[in-house]
Chain A
């Protein structure tokens, strides 16, 4: 279902782009915009967050592929903790700022950024550096600290979780991007793109009470999936996650993994992570559980993966 959706929207976007004057410009310079050759996943290494994001999106057909003029866009980073960017507890602010700027340049009417934080949301928004980056890029930070911002949605494919309350910004937007940071996690073993979904829901207590991994996988079946999962691995947290204790928990990998497929993005991220901290991917149970619910695939080798090293 997800893959089909992706191809459908990709084809539509390709068509729309083909008729835009900008696309003519591109084709006239000889670069092809063939829809079929777009990769299922782009992995970039060796650059700064902004450059890696721009490069990855270029491989995927540009931001205009996902964001049309007048779109309401939502970006969901991990801003769970009152921590400075160097501690890698939250998504890289430069990455988020760049994404906001790209969305605005593609004609987005508004770009909303939020997270249901674990620490005091005002401090987390500020000290993560994300608020400043988003505001400077013309985006809007919205609060997520009150139940009234959430609306109930059905998860018909969910096993333990049949419904949950999701932030209205996601429900009402035209397109959204899931931008987690790659981290060790004491509870879920690792926190990547699917674990990041716990920041779009209101009641997390029920997740911990009714099999955390199954609930995470259930949330990933939500029909309005993100256009892309953009896994920030510029700095990763290798231990003491999800908060981290000090910069000794942080490893600079200067990497970025982008895919519309939750399971593929998390699988690839785990393989990257395991080079630093060997981890049994089957212990991060929600990845396999999500695959079982046909959210995506762990078989990266069968996907068209574009690997780019920038230097």
Chain B
């Protein structure tokens, strides 16, 4: 049965590598179709109510156990890679795991809290604990910048000798909250992977815990073949889930991720992957613990905490109105409730945004919107008119796919002009940078005095792309800025100019 492990490894590479390169690609050259790989992740499928994928994943789990965890989940495979690579630093090279008890209180509490909080309208735990999104945050916040750094170093060298085959790419913005979350998760997950294999998946990850409940009844499962077993313990020592107890010859199905390492380790066929219901079932000595009280306390504590945090955020007095503006959601977010409930902060749109105007939020959406994307404008950084990439790659349907023509009319915000701060008024000189960058001419120039023109905003036409804000020379607080729309309405279609039909056949000079 050793071929099972090889199949598992091949499959995990096939799922992992496309996701990995898709997150790391900073050139935008990879085909966007790769995002389809992300739709087969559990949480994105659940949030987008993708019943086909849910059905397939459910069937796979009921048939084969937690193969999602060992092949499809990028965070799971990432832990296997770390565990595998760590052998270069470890003293004990092989046979290093030992059976350990499951942390039932913790894992069922986290699962319950995640579900409860979500039902009560907070995505806080979903965002923090969805394994795919955690993977996305780690790679976009920690690894991607390193690749960009390397590219820019190489580009600098090549450009210096006149070779422009590589070019410098803007480094991603440093957002402390997103970075710290990525650092904490990376080091704890990597540390646990080296020491305890898949302990994270079996204790913290709500998807792992949920699938564990399913794999207790899966059709195929790992079990001892007592007649062949000589209790050498080799299977237990190779079980990265630490769920095989070779003394009692039992396997904790809820924690087994179907990696099949034990099958390869056993030379005698003493452990097998077989039909559960063929033979008499080995009675499980694990009875579910009643956690309702603890879970309830934990969940209500988290809810109360998040409400308090959100309140505190609102109370914070701000000076300029630009600082207390409503956050600007990416196009296709529809309305703030839909968006906040469905986005898991995986950072895929952030990494795919060619303008890098999308950034992970800190507390702009409150605690339960942490790391969800919002638009942050800075010089030359605004939402491109002819672009709908973010909405087309979103795996969770937090951003609904919108066609290009529709995107050009989607009001993600409205420009607010503070004319008394405007360069034209304060210095009586021409500027017009805002109108220059306005794709719909919602911001247009009207006569002022002495041949000067000043900007004016027609709100119906504004789509909130932020071109005006990004380029307004008035700093630190621009004379024009975009206020986010909590509900993304449809802008009026800009009127075309009058056509000029006369024939000019003279130079005019």
Complex interface: chain B residues within 8 A of A43 (CB): 507, 509
Interchain CB contact under 8 A, B384 and A123: yes
CA distance in complex: A120, B355 (Å): 7
A-B CB contact pairs (8 Å), 8 listed: A120-B354, A122-B354, A123-B384, A186-B444, A211-B427, A249-B496, A267-B509, A285-B430
**Residue on A with the closest CB to B435?**
A186
Main SS at interface, chain A: mixed
Instruction: A189 to B453: give the CA distance in the assembly, Å.
Output: 9
Q: Give B contacts to A, CB under 8 Å.
A: 28, 156, 159, 162, 164, 167-168, 170, 354-355, 379-380, 384-386, 423, 427, 429-433, 435-441, 444-445, 451, 453, 471, 473-475, 494, 496-500, 502, 504-509
Which residue from B433, B505, B507 sits with its C-beta under 8 Å from A268?
Answer: B507
- Contact between chains at A245 and B497 (CB < 8 Å): yes
**Given A208-B423, A276-B504: A248 in contact with B497 (beta carbons within 8 A):** yes
Q: With A and B bound together, what is the CA distance between A282 and B430 in angstroms?
A: 13
Q: B429 touching A211 by the CB < 8 A rule?
A: yes
In the complex, whether A272 has a CB less than 8 A from a CB of chain B is yes
Q: Closest residue of chain B to A142, judged by CB?
A: B164
Query: Does any Cβ of B come within 8 Å of A92's Cβ?
Result: no
Cβ of A238 under 8 Å from chain B: yes
Give the chain A neighbours of B444 by CB distance below 8 A: 186
Q: How far, in angstroms, from A251 to B508 measured CA to CA in the complex? A: 15
- The answer to whether the Cβ of A24 comes within 8 Å of any Cβ in the partner chain is no
Report the separation of the CA atoms of residues A280 and B471 in the bound assembly, to the nearest whole angstrom. 26
Q: Distance in Å from the Cβ of A209 to the closest Cβ of chain B?
A: 4
Q: A82-B386, A240-B441, A248-B496 are in contact. List 16 more A-B contacts (CB 8 A).
A: A45-B507, A82-B384, A110-B162, A146-B168, A148-B168, A188-B430, A205-B475, A212-B429, A213-B430, A239-B498, A243-B438, A245-B440, A248-B498, A249-B496, A272-B507, A276-B502
Do B433 and A145 have beta carbons less than 8 Å apart? Answer: no
In contact, A246 and B507 (Cβ under 8 angstroms): no
Contact of A122 among B28, B385, B429 (CB under 8 A): B28
Q: How far is the CB of B31 from chain A (nearest CB, A)?
A: 16
- Name the B residues within 8 Å of A240 (CB-CB): 441, 497
CB proximity to B under 8 Å, residues A216-271 = 238-243, 245-246, 248-249, 251, 253, 255, 267-268, 271
Q: Tell me if B473 and A189 are in contact (CB < 8 A).
A: no
Closest 4 CB pairs of A and B: A187-B432, A208-B473, A186-B435, A271-B509
Q: Does residue A119 face the partner (Cβ distance < 8 Å to B)? A: yes
| A283 interfacial by beta-carbon distance below 8 Å | yes
Whether B435 pairs with A145 at a CB distance below 8 angstroms is no
Once the chains bind, are B451 and A280 in contact (CB under 8 Å)? yes
The proximity string for A residues 272-292 relative to B, scoring 1 for CB distances below 8 Å and 0 otherwise, is 111111001011010000000
Q: How far is the CB of A97 from chain B (nearest CB, A)?
A: 18
Q: Which A residues are CB-close (under 8 A) to B167?
A: 143, 145-146
Q: What is the minimal beta-carbon distance from B348 to any residue of chain A, in angstroms?
A: 19
How far is the CB of B356 from the nearest CB of chain A, in Å?
10
B432 engages A186 (CB within 8 Å): yes
**A185 to B437, alpha carbons, bound, how many Å?**
11
Q: A7 in the interface, Cβ–Cβ < 8 Å? A: no
Contacts known (A120-B384, A242-B436); A187 close to B497, Cβ less than 8 A: no
Within 8 A of B (CB), among A10-43: 43
Instruction: Say yes or no: is A300 at the interface (Cβ < 8 Å to chain B).
Output: yes
CB <8 Å contact, B498 and A307 = no
A140 sits at the interface (CB 8 A): yes
Question: Chain B residues near A242 (CB, 8 Å)?
Answer: 436
CB distance from B408 to the nearest CB of A (A): 11
Quote the shortest CB–CB distance from A105 to chain B (angstroms): 21
Partner of A212, one of B354, B379, B431: B431
Q: Which residues of B contact A127 (CB under 8 A)?
A: 386
CA A275 – CA B506 in complex, angstroms? 9
Q: How far, in Å, is A296 (CB) from chain B's closest CB?
A: 15
B494 surroundings in chain A (CB, below 8 A): 245
Residue of A nearest to B28 (CB): A122
Complex formed: what's the CA distance from A301 to B167 in Å? 47
In the assembled complex, the CB of A294 is this many whole angstroms from the nearest CB of chain B, namely: 21
> How far apart are A232's CB and chain B's nearest CB, in angstroms?
15
A272, B435: Cβ atoms under 8 Å?
no
Q: Which residue of A lies closest to B455 (CB)?
A: A186
Q: Is the CB of A141 closer than 8 A to any CB of chain B?
A: yes
Q: Which A residue's beta carbon lies closest to that of B432?
A: A187
Cα distance A285–B432 in the bound complex, in angstroms: 14
- The complex places the Cα of A241 from the Cα of B439 at a distance, in Å, of 10
Nearest Cβ in chain A — how far from B76, in angstroms?
35
A213 and B506 contact, Cβ closer than 8 Å, known pairs A119-B384, A145-B168, A187-B436: no
Closest partner residue, chain A, to B437 (CB atom):
A118
* Alpha-carbon distance A280/B385, docked complex (angstroms): 31
Which residues of A52-94 have CB atoms within 8 Å of chain B's CB atoms?
82
Interface residues of A in 98-121 (CB under 8 A from B): 110, 118-120
Task: Report Cα–Cα, A285/B428, bound state, in Å.
Answer: 13
Most A C-beta atoms less than 10 A away, residue of B164, B386, B497: B497
